[in-house]
Structures are given as structure tokens and as C-alpha cells.
């Protein structure tokens, strides 16, 4: 089932084309990483999906319903975790979740049960009666997530949910994302931390200048950049290395020698590191350092956009 279906979406702000004829689909059960440099159009797409701003042209469907014709249905089935924390500092954690869940029509014992369940899910049960003004940045982020998911939305949009928090809180949030996905939620996840997107996303869309310039799984996107892996091996001496024998190892496509640095290029679908190490050992060549140069999502992004994600 298509949770999100966008067709020929366009949005302008004056002369600036923020979203330029974009089409994309997100399947039920996906964690879809949405990446792009600042100003690429990510936030505009998210705001249109959520119904916060209108589109100029195109069609947006959420769970098969036209977002423009059935906005209430769409809003009931979406949970939004905004980049800017949206909680009330003068309410307790319990009262915050109760307020936001109440906006979706939850009442009575159902509301009470959902609030308690969500507090436990984000690890804030012991802080239920505390106010966010006393919370760390990570705890506020977790409460922000709790306020977005208490009504059990089918689609959760997380816009930079780990900005400015400590590693422990970041790990907790990433674990929460995985659990939500295992519980059946489809998630759109944006982040300036490329390693997060690479770690948790089942599929990634890269946006630049208002257009989708690449889309696919991590492996599919890496294949765009290269079909070759490289291993750089620093040795004590390259004098005892027979280049022909090294090139004869299965999968090796090329070998370069730069003094005592041996650059071995191999087909991406063949793992031959154990054979490379065995070759050096048998020829009494001492290995000082091994560095894998396998393409990362960061290198794909840089190649396609010419910019780093955090620029």
C-alpha cells in the first residue's frame, strides 16, 4: 500500500521555485530518509504533506486519500515531530501529551491509557509530573516525539529529531524510530546526520534545488557512484610485493602503489579482504594499517549535490 503518493508537486514562493515538479511514493512500513542541503525543498514538501501550506500544482495522497479534499482524515493519520521543539514548558510531561492527544479526539480512559503508554515508550514515566523546563535537551526531544505519536498515527514525520542532543539520547531516539517502525508505522526521517539516515532508512530520497535527483536503497545509491570497493593497506615495505600475484586474487581489478601505501581496487560484490591479508602474511609483509574506502551515503550525496549535508 502507498502511504504517501506525490505526483507533479510544485510550489513557488515569489520567483523562487521551492519544489519543482516532484513525484515520489512511500510504501507502507518504510523508513524513508529525506535528504537535501539547506534550501533544497525538504521542509516545503513536509509542510505540504502535513497540510500546513498549500501547493501550487500537483497531487498529494495520504493512505489513498487526496490531502486537499480530505484534510481531516490526513491530519488524523499523521504525527509530526518538528525540528523546533513544540511543547509547553509550563505543563508537566503528562499534561503535554494529554493536551496534544486530546486534539485528536482521545478522551477518558483511552486518553489516560495512551498517555501512560507513550510516556513509557519514550522512557519518561518517572518524569510524568515534571515540567520540561527542568529537562535536558534529549528529554525534551523525547517528549516532543511522545506528543506526536500518542494518537497512533499511520505516518510519522520526523524533521531533525536529534539536533543538539547527547549521544545517549540520540541512540534512544533511533531505537524508538526502529520500534515504531516494527509496530507498523511508516516514517519519513530527515536529518543532517548522514550516518543516522544510512543506519535506519530502508530507502532514501535526495532532494536538491527542489527536485528528486536520486532515490533508492543505500546500496542502490552507492552503486550510482561506483561499483568498486577499495582497500588502502599501509605496509612496512612494498619491495616484496609481486603486483601480478596481487592482481590475480579474485575480485581485484587494479592495484596502485604509493611508496608503502598499497591501494587495492576490487569489484563491489566480492569480499576478498581475508585473501588480501593472507597474501601479505605469506609474503612476510607486515601490515601497519588497513582502511576501507567503500562508498558511503555521504560520498554519494557529495557527488550528486556538490555539497556536504551540513554545509
Let me know whether 215 and 233 are in one domain: no
282: CB partners within 8 A, 6+ apart: none
Q: What angle do CA 169, 173, 178 make, to 5 degrees?
A: 150
**pTM confidence score:** 0.79
pLDDT tens per residue, range 223-240: 776 666 788 899 888 888
pLDDT, residue 246, reads 87
pLDDT, residue 304, reads 77
Residue 267 belongs to domain spanning: 227-294
Reported confidence tier of residue 281, pLDDT bands at 50, 70, 90: confident
Let me know whether 192 and 65 are in one domain: yes
Let me know whether 178 and 233 are in one domain: no
pLDDT tens per residue, range 7-58: 999 999 999 999 999 999 999 999 999 998 888 888 899 999 988 899 999 9
pLDDT, residue 288, reads 87
| Phi/psi of residue 186, nearest 5 degrees | -95, 135
pLDDT at 186 over 60: yes
Assess if residue 303 is contained within a domain: no
Let me know whether 279 and 163 are in one domain: no
- Residues of the chain with pLDDT > 90, as a percent, come to 53
Strand 252-258 vs strand 228-235: parallel, antiparallel, or unpaired? unpaired
Query: Contact, 17 vs 40, CB < 8 A?
Result: no
Return d(Cα 297, Cα 222) in angstroms, integer: 7
- Can you tell me the mean pLDDT for 70-77? 90
Q: Among the three residues 199, 222, 245, which one is the final residue of a domain in this structure?
A: 222
Percentages helix, strand, coil for the chain (3-state, rounded to 5) are: 35, 30, 35
Assess if residue 95 is contained within a domain: yes
Let me know whether 65 and 194 are in one domain: yes
Q: Among candidates 146, 31, 130, 38, which has minimal Cα distance to 85?
A: 146
Let me know whether 74 and 104 are in one domain: yes
Assess if residue 305 is contained within a domain: no
Assess if residue 270 is contained within a domain: yes
pLDDT at 273 over 90: no
- Report the CATH number that the domain containing residue 19 is assigned in CATH: 3.40.50.300
Let me know whether 218 and 240 are in one domain: no
Q: Among the three residues 185, 200, 222, which one is the final residue of a domain in this structure?
A: 222
pLDDT tens per residue, range 239-262: 888 888 889 999 888 888 888 898
pLDDT, residue 309, reads 54
Helix or strand or coil: residue 24? Answer: strand
Q: Among the three residues 222, 243, 276, which one is the final residue of a domain in this structure?
A: 222
Q: What angle do CA 69, 74, 79 make, to 5 degrees?
A: 160
Assess if residue 308 is contained within a domain: no
pLDDT, residue 8, reads 95
pLDDT at 199 over 60: yes
Assess if residue 154 is contained within a domain: yes
Return d(Cα 256, Cα 247) in angstroms, integer: 10
Tell me how many domains the chain contains.
2
| Comparison of pLDDT for 11 and 282, the residue scoring more | 11
Let me know whether 41 and 11 are in one domain: yes
Q: Which of 100-109, 145-154, 158-167 has the lowest mean pLDDT?
A: 158-167
Amino acid at each position: 500500500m502507498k502511504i504517501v503518493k506525490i505526483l507533479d508537486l510544485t510550489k513557488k514562493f515569489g520567483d523562487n521555485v521551492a519544489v519543482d515538479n516532484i513525484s515520489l511514493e512511500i510504501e507502507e512500513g518504510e523508513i524513508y530518509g529525506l535528504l537535501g542541503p539547506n534550501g533544497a525543498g525538504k521542509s516545503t514538501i513536509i509542510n505540504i504533506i502535513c497540510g500546513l501550506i498549500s501547493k501550487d500544482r500537483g497531487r498529494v495522497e495520504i493512505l489513498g486519500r487526496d490531502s486537499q479534499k480530505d484534510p481531516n482524515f490526513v491530519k488524523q493519520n499523521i504525527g509530526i515531530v518538528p525540528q523546533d521543539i513544540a511543547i509547553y514548558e509550563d505543563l508537566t510531561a503528562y499534561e503535554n501529551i494529554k493536551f496534544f492527544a486530546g486534539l485528536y479526539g482521545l478522551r477518558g480512559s483511552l486518553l489516560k491509557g495512551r498517555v501512560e503508554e507513550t510516556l513509557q515508550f519514550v522512557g519518561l514515566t518517572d518524569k510524568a509530573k515534571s515540567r520540561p523546563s527542568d529537562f535536558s535537551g534529549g528529554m525534551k526531544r523525547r517528549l516532543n516525539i511522545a506528543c506526536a505519536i500518542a494518537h497512533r498515527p499511520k505516518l510519522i514525520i520526523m524533521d531533525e529529531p536529534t539536533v543538539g542532543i547527547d549521544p545517549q539520547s540520540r541512540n534512544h531516539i533511533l531505537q524508538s524510530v526502529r520500534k515504531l517502525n516494527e509496530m507498523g508505522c511508516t516514517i519519513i526521517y530527515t536529518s543532517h546526520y548522514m550516518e543516522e539516515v544510512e543506519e535506519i532508512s530502508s530507502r532514501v530520497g535526495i532532494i536538491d534545488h527542489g527536485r528528486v535527483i536520486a532515490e533508492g536503497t543505500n546500496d542502490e545509491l552507492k552503486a550510482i557512484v561506483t561499483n568498486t570497493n577499495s582497500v588502502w593497506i599501509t605496509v612496512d615495505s612494498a619491495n616484496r610485493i609481486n603486483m601480478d600475484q596481487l592482481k590475480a586474487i579474485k575480485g581485484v581489478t587494479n592495484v596502485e602503489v604509493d611508496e608503502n601505501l598499497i591501494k587495492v581496487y576490487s569489484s563491489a560484490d566480492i569480499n576478498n579482504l581475508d585473501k588480501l591479508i593472507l597474501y601479505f602474511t605469506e609474503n612476510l609483509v607486515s601490515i601497519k594499517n588497513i582502511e576501507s574506502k567503500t562508498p558511503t551515503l555521504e560520498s554519494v550525496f557529495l557527488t550528486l549535490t556538490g555539497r556536504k549535508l551540513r554545509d
